[in-house]
Amino acid sequence: MSTARSLFVCFICFQGALAFRAPAFPTRHSSSALWGKVKRGKLGREIDAATAPVRTKKNKKSTIASKKTDANISPALAEWMASQEEDGVTTSTDSLRTASSTTTSSSASTYTSFDDEEDPSNRKNKKPMKQSARKAAEDARDVRVKVLVKELQESLESKAPFDVILNIIGEIMNLPAANFKQLSASAARQDFRLAWVGSDEAVCHVGTGLHKVPLARLQEVFLSFCGRNRVEIQEVIRILGPFPNVKNTLQGQSSFTRDLESDVVQWRLTWDSMVDGTGKEILAGKDENIQRVDLQVYFSCPTVLIAVVPPDADNYAIKRADPLEDQGQHVLVFVREDNLNEQLEALRVG
25 found inside a domain: no
Q: Which residues contact 270 (CB under 8 A, 6 or more apart)?
A: 252, 253, 254, 255, 290, 291, 292, 293
pTM value is 0.64
34 found inside a domain: no
- Torsion angle of the four alpha carbons 162, 165, 171, 177, in this order, in degrees rounded to the nearest 10: -120
342 found inside a domain: yes
List average pLDDT for each run of 10 residues in the chain, which is 350 residues long: 55 51 49 57 56 55 47 61 59 50 46 52 71 87 94 95 96 92 87 97 94 92 94 95 93 91 91 91 86 95 95 86 94 97 92
| Closest listed residue to residue 316, CA positions, set 342, 281, 343, 292 | 292
339 found inside a domain: yes
Which domain covers residue 256, as residue numbers? 177-346
12 found inside a domain: no
Per-residue confidence (pLDDT) for residue 147, from 0 to 100: 96
| Closest listed residue to residue 266, CA positions, set 300, 227, 220, 228 | 300
299 found inside a domain: yes
80 found inside a domain: no
Per-residue confidence (pLDDT) for residue 86, from 0 to 100: 57
Per-residue confidence (pLDDT) for residue 67, from 0 to 100: 46
Per-residue confidence (pLDDT) for residue 31, from 0 to 100: 54
What is the rounded distance in angstroms from the CA atom of residue 317 to the CA atom of residue 322?
14
Per-residue confidence (pLDDT) for residue 317, from 0 to 100: 82
239 found inside a domain: yes
Per-residue confidence (pLDDT) for residue 108, from 0 to 100: 43
The total number of structural domains in the chain stands at 1
